[in-house]
Chain A
Amino acid sequence: MAQEKKNNKAQSPLLEVKGVEVAFFLRQGVARAINHIDLIINKGETLGIVGESGCGKSVTAAAIMRLIEEPGKILNGEILLEGVDLLKLSNREMRHIRGNSMAMIFQDPMSGLNPVLSIGKQMCETLILHKGMKKRQALERAEFMLREVGMPNPGDQLKRFPHELSGGMRQRVLIAMALSCEPKLLIADEPTTALDVTIQAQILELMRELQKKYDMAMLMITHDLGVIAEIADKVAVMYAGDVVEQTTVADLFDNPRHPYTKGLMKAIPTMEDKFSKEDRLYNIPGMVPTLLELPPGCRFQTRCPLATKECTLKNPDLLNHEGHLVRCIHA
């Protein structure tokens, strides 16, 4: 049975990102924010994306939602949702997909909320627009969703405005909004960074539950490897616009192979460490290259402890080591 289900899953990717490239055409030059990204998410599965700040995680999410704005452009590739290439749809068709099949929780909680509308109005708007609900029904659903994400007095919260809520509460509103339309794919960009550990535990639990209930797939962007450990099935590690490593969660934690991933693992402070005032954390030496001046060859070579002359010649391919993908000639 389980075997059968697995096979089934393997045959039906919900989302396939193939060779997608995004660049921003700036006065100073062309910033290649993501460089040939390949990702597969199966039905009901969670793919985590981690990586250095500025490596292109949010841009990848925006590309999938087709929300890249001028001066940015999607240059190449295909984004297939259940076999349909989103890059070929009209704007109208895409708007329909965005509210119904896919929903996104944005990184900056304020940017996803309209400051002059009450929480209730905003939540109802999406439900009326995308689910064709009547106002009363939409209000009930909105209140139900706010309770689902752990907001105190959901009825009262509907009347409040975004600036009256704490950072974590705003994030919960956004999660409630995204889940209210029961999307097949939920893209969540740092959904729990603004939340405290207790609410974070509740929200992750809730997301897992709803995922099961609605057979929803998730793309979970986070820099928090703890969140990845909690919720993801597979992980992609990104660096400077490239996926540098991709495998199952357990494998990544037990057997990281790319030198960048190894560096990340080493930099995490843990609760078991007793730090004195003099102690300093490990951090990967050097700086992420800016997109306008990427080094030749492997993009990580300027900071890599294993780098050799060979690394400067060509950006290595993402090689498959028995299902564990790594972009490094020394791995």
Chain B
Amino acid sequence: MSIILDVQNLKTHFPIRKGLLRKVVNHVRAVDGVSLQLHEKETLGLVGESGCGKSTVGRSILHLIPPTAGTVHFENQDLASLSASELRKKRVHMQMIFQNPLSSLNPRMTVEEIITGAPIFHGLVNKSDRRKFASKLMNTVGLNPKQLQRFPHEFSGGQRQRICIARALALSPKLLICDESVSALDVSIQAQILNLFKDLQEEFGMSYLFISHDMAVVRYISDRVAVMYLGRIVEIADKDSLFDNPKHPYTKALLSSIPATHPAHKTERRALQGDVPSPTTIYKGCPFMARCPEAKPHCGETPPVLESVGRDHMVSCFETVKTEKAAG
């Protein structure tokens, strides 16, 4: 299967300004050297602690935020080389469902206008077919087409999230970045939407970058999974090997804090200790060192890089790589 998205050493830093002159005093290193590839008909899950930079990766890939460094190739085309209008056209094929449904919906537009605006603008749908087109999408995401003339604030949280999903699907994108896209849905509708994503993939070969806090959902939908920590990918692997055989100490900690599925098991849950570190610090060595139960003094000397530790399994950790290599 061919590569549809190729991200190399992506960095996105936000300036922190202070004082009357708004002088830049420091940077939030939200994304700090992320590389990943996504194939056609593939789903890559992206997980990690809150604030580690997942949404920023998504937005930087689409160049909704200009990346500070690095390259993004979509269908072999460098997005940085496109003009603003070319980029807008490209975005028909790469859509993102944003994390915050309400603030990404125009409060003065009806649901029908929200869903059909872009496809009409890009000439994918005739104005006269508008109603039929929107109704079909409403059914697809489990909303009643009779509500097409309503405004976003008249819907519940989960219903708004589905309006966002419908809007993204309206363009039949080849790449869809889903940022916590099923998190506000109850389990039955969540199941329905996740099944829909898989069906669309099977039928049209869509690719997904799937950002979520829900590990069971990630395991269900993904082919491969990447774990992020402080703006970097620390482990990336085939999903079964990542969840059944996590190697990075951070991944292990993350997986051990998955919520119980039954009240009788709730004591087994263990929260990761230590403060979430500040993304403004520049680390000489491994950024996870301060919270790592397996850290050795040498971990603070140079930054670790992703290294292969088995078929389709890469880890960025000195100690793990050493033990894996010793084990052969």
Question: Which of A11-19, A51-59, A121-129 sits within the interface?
Answer: A51-59
Tell whether A198 is near chain B: CB-to-CB under 8 Å. yes
Interchain CB contact under 8 A, B215 and A164? no
> Once bound together, how far apart are the Cα atoms of A165 and B183, in whole Å?
19
Contact with B along A107-139 (1 / 0, CB 8 A): 111110000000000000000000000000000
Contacts of B81 in A (CB 8 A): none
| Residues of B close to A267: CB separation below 8 A | 187-188, 190-191
- Assuming the A-B contacts A201-B271, A225-B187, A269-B216, are A164 and B101 also in contact, with contact meaning beta carbons closer than 8 angstroms in the complex? no
A253–B265 Cα distance when bound, in Å, is 12
Q: How far is the CA of A288 from the CA of B162 in the complex (A)?
A: 14
Give the residues in chain A near B277, CB-CB below 8 Å.
152
The reply on A268 being an interface residue by CB < 8 A is yes
User: A166 near B51 (CB under 8 angstroms)?
Assistant: yes
Q: Is the CB of A268 within 8 A of B50?
A: no
Q: Are A283 and B157 in contact (CB under 8 A)?
A: no
Q: How would residues 39 to 77 of chain A score, 1 for a CB under 8 Å from any chain B CB and 0 otherwise?
A: 000000000001111100110000000000000000000
> Which residues of A sit under 8 angstroms from B189, Cβ to Cβ?
52-53, 283
Contacts of A205 in B (CB 8 A): 271
Contacts of A282 in B (CB 8 A): 191
Q: Which residues of B contact A58 (CB under 8 A)?
A: 156-157
Knowing A110-B100, A290-B146 are in contact, say whether A152-B275 is a contact too (CB < 8 A). yes
Q: Say yes or no for A2: interface residue by CB 8 A criterion.
A: no
| Chain A positions within 8 Å of B262 at CB level | 229, 253
Given the interface pairs A269-B216, A269-B219, A274-B240, the reply to whether A52 lies near B49 with Cβ below 8 Å is no
- Output the least CB separation between A37 and chain B (Å): 16
B184 adjacent to A190 (CB under 8 Å): yes
Task: For the complex, give the distance between the alpha carbons of A154 and B161 in Å.
Answer: 31
Give CA–CA (A205, B257) in the complex, Å.
Answer: 12
When the two chains form the complex, which single residue of A54, A223, A279 contacts B187, counting CB atoms closer than 8 Å?
A223
Does chain B have a CB within 8 A of A263?
yes
> A18 vs B32: C-alpha distance in the bound complex, in angstroms?
54
State whether B271 touches A223 (Cβ < 8 A).
no
- Closest chain A CB from B197 CB (angstroms): 11
Q: Does A199 contact B (CB under 8 A)?
A: yes
B186 touches A223 (CB 8 A): yes
Chain B residues within 8 Å of A277, by CB: 198, 202, 223
Chain B 252-289 per-residue mask, 1 if CB under 8 angstroms from chain A, else 0: 01100111111111100111100111100000000000
**Within the complex, what minimum Cβ distance (angstroms) separates B223 from chain A?**
7
- What is the minimal beta-carbon distance from B26 to any residue of chain A, in angstroms? 10
Which chain A residues in 169-200 approach chain B with CB under 8 Å? 169, 172, 190, 193-200
Name A31's closest neighbour in chain B (CB-CB): B154
Query: Which among A58, A151, A164, A225 has the greatest number of chain B C-beta atoms within 10 A?
Result: A225
Contact of B186 among A53, A167, A169 (CB under 8 A): A53
In the bound complex, CA of A277 to CA of B220 (Å): 8
Question: Contact: A196 with B48, CB < 8 Å?
Answer: yes
Task: Name the residue on B nearest A279 (C-beta).
Answer: B220
CB closest residue in chain B, given A189: B157
Pairwise interchain contact B188-A275, C-beta atoms closer than 8 A: no
Q: Which residues of B sit under 8 angstroms from A202, Cβ to Cβ?
A: 271-272
A224 at the B interface (CB under 8 A): yes
Q: Return chain B residues, CB-CB under 8 Å to A195.
A: 50, 213
Closest to B265 in A: A229
Q: Is B213 touching A224 in the complex (CB atoms < 8 A)?
A: no
The reply to whether B99 and A194 contact each other, CB–CB distance below 8 Å, is: yes
- Across the interface, do B272 and A52 meet the contact criterion of CB distance under 8 Å? no
A111, A169, A224: which contacts B102 (Cβ < 8 A)? Answer: A111
Bound-state CA distance A240–B118 (Å) is 33
Bound complex: CA A275 to CA B50 (Å):
26
Chain B residues whose CB sits within 8 angstroms of the CB of A57 once the complex forms: 156
- Assess the A273–B188 pair: CB atoms within 8 A: no
Residues of B within 8 A of A287 (CB): 142, 144
B257 touches A198 (CB 8 A): yes
Q: Are A110 and B102 in contact (CB under 8 A)?
A: yes
Cβ–Cβ contact A194 & B254, under 8 A: no
Considering only residues 216-249 of chain A, those with a C-beta below 8 Å from chain B are 223-227, 229-230, 249
Return chain B residues, CB-CB under 8 Å to A194: 50, 99, 180, 183, 213
**Cα of A73 to Cα of B283 in the assembled complex, Å:** 56
- Smallest CB separation, A140 vs chain B (Å): 19
Q: Could you list which residues of chain B lie within 8 angstroms of chain A, going by C-beta atoms?
A: 14, 28, 47-51, 55, 99-103, 142, 144, 146-147, 154-159, 161-162, 180, 183-192, 194-195, 198, 202, 213, 215-217, 219-220, 223, 240, 243, 253-254, 257-266, 269-272, 275-278
6 additional contacts (CB under 8 A) given A269-B216, A273-B216: A153-B278, A166-B55, A225-B261, A230-B263, A267-B191, A283-B195
Interface residues of A (CB under 8 A from B): 24, 26, 28, 50-54, 57-58, 107-111, 150-153, 164-169, 172, 190, 193-202, 205, 223-227, 229-230, 249-250, 253, 263-264, 267-271, 273-275, 277, 279-284, 287-288, 290, 292
